[in-house]
Structure formats: C-alpha cells, structure tokens
Amino acid sequence: MAYTIPQMSNTTTTATHSHSGPAYGAYQILHVAFIIAPILAGVDKFFHYLTNWDKYLSASYASISPLSVHTTMQAVGIVEIFAGLLVAFRPRVGAYIVAIWLVAIIVNLLLLPGYYDIALRDLGLCLGALALGRLSEEFDK
C-alpha cells in the first residue's frame, strides 16, 4: 500500500511498506508465536503434558461455569485452539481476540494467590498480541 509523505517543500514522496525490514520481521515472529502458543496450550488442556491446567482456574471463574473444573479447562483449550487458528488466517482480528482472552486469564490469575508471576507473564503476552494487531494493520493485506 502506498501513501504520500508531505515534504518541507510543496512536493510529495510516495513510500511503500517493505516486506523485508525489521518491522515485517517483528510481525512474522509475533504472527508465528501467536499461532503456535495458543494452539499448543489449548491442545495441552486435554493431555496435561506441560502442567495440570485445572489448578489455574480460580474459584470465582469456576463458580460461574456450569461445567466441572476439568471440563471448563477443556472448553478453555478449545477457545485457545480457535484463537490460534484465527490468528493464523485473520491476524488483524485474531490478535485482538487473543489480547482480550489474555486479559480474562490475567484477571483469573489475580484471583488465585501465588500466581501473580504468571499473571505478569501473561500481561507481556497480551502486549505482544496488541503489537501483532497493530503490525497486522500494515502487513496483513
């Protein structure tokens, strides 16, 4: 996409966004990361190879779910798989969905004593998802 940059004189210069510069490289890294991470975390909600995910559901969140803790976490896994696939095919939308999802996870973790470090890590992930969303505005054409 081309746009016009006003110059000090009354002339204009046309610039295009390169798909080889550092911003595009950052976009690619974030795009791949936010496809792989949610899908792997979502799949692992069914297998518990990385951790026992059930321990991360706060009593507050569990009380509003009509499902058992384990089944709720499996439903969370399905949402995460969907979010990763959405980022794969529609990063301009998926990145913001992932960011909102991460905010919900952060709130849940803040309701659990002893998981503030993980909430902080997820804040970093949320900021990365927002950065992907912004970069997608330029590179997901």
Is residue 57 one of the residues assigned to a domain?
yes
Residue 69, Cβ neighbours under 10 Å: how many?
16
Read off the tokens for 15.
């610039």
Q: Is the pLDDT of residue 6 over 50?
A: no
* Percent over 90 (pLDDT), the chain: 84
User: What is the rounded average pLDDT of the residues 15-29?
Assistant: 83
Separation between Cα atoms, residue 34 and residue 87, nearest integer Å: 7
Is residue 2 one of the residues assigned to a domain?
no
Is residue 106 one of the residues assigned to a domain?
yes
User: What is the rounded average pLDDT of the residues 59-85?
Assistant: 97
Is residue 30 one of the residues assigned to a domain?
yes
| Cβ(74)–Cβ(115) below 8 Å | no
Separation between Cα atoms, residue 107 and residue 115, nearest integer Å: 11
Is residue 64 one of the residues assigned to a domain?
yes
Is residue 10 one of the residues assigned to a domain?
no
Read off the tokens for 55.
């321990």
Alpha-carbon distances, residue 47 vs 6, 41, 54, 106, 111 (angstroms)? 56, 10, 11, 23, 25
Is residue 3 one of the residues assigned to a domain?
no
Is residue 115 one of the residues assigned to a domain?
yes
* Domain count of the fold of the chain: 1
pLDDT digits (tens, 9 = 90+) for 89-139: 999 999 999 999 999 999 999 999 999 999 999 999 999 999 999 999 999
Alpha-carbon distances, residue 26 vs 7, 19, 136 (angstroms)? 28, 11, 11
Return the pLDDT at 17. Answer: 60
Q: Is the pLDDT of residue 14 over 50?
A: no
3-class state of residue 18 by DSSP = coil
What average pLDDT does the chain have? 91
| Cβ(89)–Cβ(130) below 8 Å | no
Q: For residue 41, give its domain range.
A: 21-139
